Amino acid sequence: MRNPLLLALLALFLALPAQAQAPAPTLAPTRGPTHPGTTAAERWLWDSLRGPLTRPEFAVNMAGNCNGATPSATEPNHPAWAEPCRAITAEFLETILTTEPWRSQLPRRGLRLQGMLVQGVLDLSATQISVELWLDQSRFPEPVILTGAKFDKALTFDGSALEGGFSADQFQVGGNLQLSGARIGCLVEAGPANAPATTPCGPMVLQAATIGGDLRLEGADIRTGLSAEDMTLAGSLHLTGTRIAGGLHATNLKVSRNLYLDAGAELRCTPVAEVKGCDALVLRGATVEGQFTLLDSTLGGHFQGNSLKAHNHLQLRNTSMAPGARLNLANARIDGDLDLSNAALGQVSLAGIVIGGDLQLATDSRAPPRWAPDALLSLRNARVGAVQGSLEPGRNAWPAQLELQGFTYERLGGGTQDASSAMLSRPSAELVDWLARDRSFTRQPYQQLAGIFTAAGDPNRATDILFAARYREEQQNWQQGAYADAVGLAALRITIGYGLGYKFFRVLWWVLGFCLIGTLVLWQSPAARARGLLWCFGASLDQLIPFATLSPEFAPFFDDPRRERLANWQMAFFAMQALVGFVLGGFVGAGMGGLTQAN
C-alpha cells in the first residue's frame, strides 16, 4: 500500500479526468477542402448556395443571415452595415469564382448575391469568369478591379455602391454590364473657396472595354467621372437619369445600337462645382449606329462631339447647357435629323457637319432654342438636307451671330413644319436680315439662298437676295477704302439694279426721266414746239438711245450749227444726254451679258 510505485500510478489515474475536462484551445476557421469560407457569414452564404432549396438561378440575400431587411447601399452610415452577418471578404468571392473545386460547384445559371458588405479590394484582373454574376444592392468600400478580365456572361452591380471605384479597362463581358441605380465613387465634400479640390476617390474606368450586350447605367450616380475611351458596345448605352460628376469621356466609343442620355440625366465637369472651360461630354470620333437621344438633360460643361458619326437621329431637344459651355459637332456626320429645338445653347459649332435629314431648330410643335445673349452658331461648310427654322417675331430660331460661309442645304422647311411657318414663306427683308447675322461677308450664302428660291419658282425673291449681296459688297468696299469699286457698284445699283432680275427695269426710269427733261428742253424751242409735244418726246428719246434711229427726221433737226433752232445751252444738254445714253446702254449691255455678276 505504501509502495511508491503504486502511489504514483494512482495519482496519474486520478489526474486524467481533470485533463480530459479542460477546454481545447480555440482555432481560427481555415479554408479547407470541404468549405471555401473562413467566417460564419461566408459559410452561411456558401451553404445557402449549395443547400437543398437551391435552384440554378437562386439568389442569396445576406438579409437572410441577419434576420433583417437590406439597407440601401447608398446609405453607408446605416447601422445595419456594421453587422458582421453581412460582411464578406473580397478574397472569398475571388476564391469561389476562380479556384477549383469551388468554381465548378457554382449554380449553373450563375451567382446572384445581394446585400453584401465586401471587405477588401475585389481584384479579378486577367481572370475568366464563365457564370453570370450578380452583385446587387451591395457595398464595395474598396476598389473593384476587373482590368483585362473576361466574363462570358452578364455582370451586374444594380443598386450597389462601389465607393472605391470601378476599374475595368480592356475588360470583356459577353452579355450586359449593368450598374443601374449604382453609386460609383465616394462623396467629395466642397472645401473653402479657392481651396484645392479634394482628391476624388474611386473613378469609373472602361477604357478599351468590350461589352457584348448593353451598358445600363440608368439612375446611376457616378461621382468621379466615367472614362470609356475606345469602348465597344454590341448593344445600347443607357444613361437615362444618370448623374455623372467629372464628365463622360468616351473618345472613339462604338455603340452598335442606341445611346440614351435623357430623362433628367446630368453631366457635370467636377463633383462639387462648375469649372468654366471644362468638358462634360466627350464623344470625339464616336460612332452610334442607332438613335442618339440627349433629351431633357443638363450638361454642365462642353459637349465635344467633333467627328461624331450618328447613323440615325441625334436629338438634343429640351437639353440645357451651362452658360459659356460649347456644343462642338464640327465635322460630324448625322444620317438622320439633328434636333436642337428648345435647347438652352450658347456657342455651337456645326462647321463641316453633314446632316442627311433636317436641321431642326423649330417646328410647329416645338419651341426654338433658348440662345444665350452672346450665342454664336457656326455652319461654316456644313451640308444639310433641309433647314427647319423660324424667323417669325417671338419664335426666331436663330442666334444673333451666325457663320454661314460654305453652308449648303437642299430645302427650307421639312416634313414636320407647316409651309406658312417655314423660312421659305418669310418676307425677303427677314431673310436678308438672317444672312446679315454673319458678320463676315461672302457671296456664297446669298447665292445659296437665291438658288433655293429659284428652284422653288420664286425668281423675284431670289433677285432680292442677290441684290442684298451686291449692296453689302458695295458697303464693304466703302468701309475698306476700295472707293473705285464702291463707285462702280453704286452706279450699277442706281441705274440697272446691278443687272439683277426685275430690278434691271429701273433703267427705264432713267430713260423716261431724261426723255421728259429733253422734251421740256425742246419745248423751249419755237421750231420744236411747232411740231408738237409727242414729236418733242420722240426726238428726245432718239437722242438718248445710242446706236438706234427712231425716225430720220430727228437727226437733221439737231444738226444746227447756226443755232437757228436750238440755243447753245440746249445743244449742250442734248450732248450730255447722248453721253448718258451711251453710259446707260453700256450698263444695259454689260448686265444682259452677265458681266455685272462676275467676281
What digits encode the pLDDT tens for the residues 462-481? 999 999 999 999 999 999 99
pLDDT for residue 9 is more than 80: no
Please say which residue of 160, 184, 208 terminates a domain.
184
> What is the percent of the chain with per-residue pLDDT over 90, rounded to a whole number?
61
C-alpha cell of residue 56: 440554378
| 559 vs 304, higher pLDDT | 304
Give yes or no for a contact between 178 and 158, defined as CB atoms under 8 angstroms apart: yes
The C-alpha cell that represents 264 in the structure block:
433628367
Asked if residue 200 belongs to a domain, the reply is no
* Residue 50 counted as domain residue: yes
| pLDDT at residue 55 is higher than 60 | no
pLDDT in tens, 241-274: 999 998 999 999 999 999 999 999 999 986 444 4
pLDDT top residue among 409 and 564: 409
Which residues partner with 315 through β-bridges? 293, 339
User: Sign of dihedral through CA atoms 481, 433, 411, 319?
Assistant: positive
Q: How do residues 212-230 score in pLDDT, each as one tens digit?
A: 999 999 999 999 899 999 9
**Residues in contact with 468: Cβ distance below 8 Å, sequence separation at least 6, in sequence order:** 428, 432, 435, 436, 446
Task: Enumerate long-range contacts of 438-441, CB under 8 Å, 24 or more apart.
Answer: 438/401, 438/402, 438/403, 438/404, 438/405, 439/401, 440/403, 440/405, 441/472, 441/473, 441/476
Q: Note down the domain range covering 108.
A: 38-184
How far, in Å, CA of 210 to CA of 152, rounded? 11
Question: Does residue 456 belong to any structural domain of this protein?
Answer: no
DSSP string, 188-215: ----STTPPPPPP---EE-TT-EESS-E
pLDDT at 543: 87
When divided into structural domains, the chain yields a total of 2
In a domain? residue 117: yes
Share of the chain above pLDDT 70, in %: 88
Residue 333 covered by a domain = no
Of 157, 184, 211, which residue sits at a domain end? 184
Q: How confident is the model at residue 418 (pLDDT cuts 50, 70, 90)?
A: low
Residue 341: inside a domain? no
342, part of any domain: no
Is the pLDDT higher at 548 or at 23? Answer: 548
The domain boundary residue, chosen from 184, 200, 218: 184
Which of the residue ranges 136-150, 270-284, 552-566 would you say has the lowest mean pLDDT?
270-284
pLDDT at 472: 95
Asked if the structure places residue 358 within a domain, the reply is no
Instruction: For cell 437562386, name the residue.
Output: 58
Rounded-to-integer distance, Cα 492 and Cα 503, Å: 11
**Residue 415 has what pLDDT?**
63
Report in angstroms the alpha-carbon separations of 194 from 31, 273, 278, 321: 52, 11, 17, 24
Give the pLDDT mean for 150-161.
96
Q: What pTM does this model have?
A: 0.82
Arithmetic mean of pLDDT over the chain: 86
Calculate the alpha carbon distances from 129 to 120, 277, 470 in Å: 20, 42, 71
